[in-house]
Amino acid sequence: MNGTGTTNGKTNQTTSTNAAPKHASNIALWVLQVLLVLVFVMAGLAKVFGDQAMVEMFATIGIGQWFRYLVGVLEIAGAIGLLVPRLSGLAALGLVGVMAGAVFTNLFVLGASPLLPLAIMVLSALVAWGRWSKVRSLLGKVGR
């Protein structure tokens, strides 16, 4: 390679070519994470502060109102985790679990449409997949 950034007359563009899609996907993931933060904070606060619809829904579920608080706190904690770069993938993975429970509950307990929690679960799974290297890194440190 000579001093002009060429090798045998060819310009070395692989670094800049690979960086652009990676940068764009990182921005897309952050936009998705912020949208999910808004969704989960609003839903979590409605549960924690006892929105009447949430109280009635969890009464129908029949486990008890303590479960409403637990789900609300998990949603808020997951939303906060989505904003922490190091924890974002793991938080998204946890929220996938919360939403899987919501899909199951809508289908088999409430008899309601599971489409909204399913869509939110898929979006959370996209974030978890996009941040998988961070999840692997964190889980690797726990295993040591």
Place of tokens 């924690």: 48
pLDDT in tens, 59-114: 999 999 999 999 999 999 999 999 999 999 999 999 999 999 999 999 999 999 99
Cα dist. 126→1, 28, 29, 129 in Å?
40, 11, 8, 5
pTM for the structure as a whole: 0.83
The reported pLDDT for the residue numbered 17 is 62
How many Å apart are CA 114 and CA 23, to the nearest integer?
A: 33
Contacts 24+ apart (CB under 8 A), 96-100: 96/121, 96/124, 96/125, 96/128, 98/71, 98/74, 99/124
Given a contact cutoff of 8 angstroms between Cβ atoms, the answer to whether 131 and 88 are in contact is: yes
Over residues 47-52, the mean pLDDT reads 98
The reported pLDDT for the residue numbered 5 is 47
Pairing of β 10-11 and β 6-7: antiparallel
The reported pLDDT for the residue numbered 115 is 98
What confidence category does residue 136 fall into, taking pLDDT thresholds of 50, 70 and 90? Answer: confident
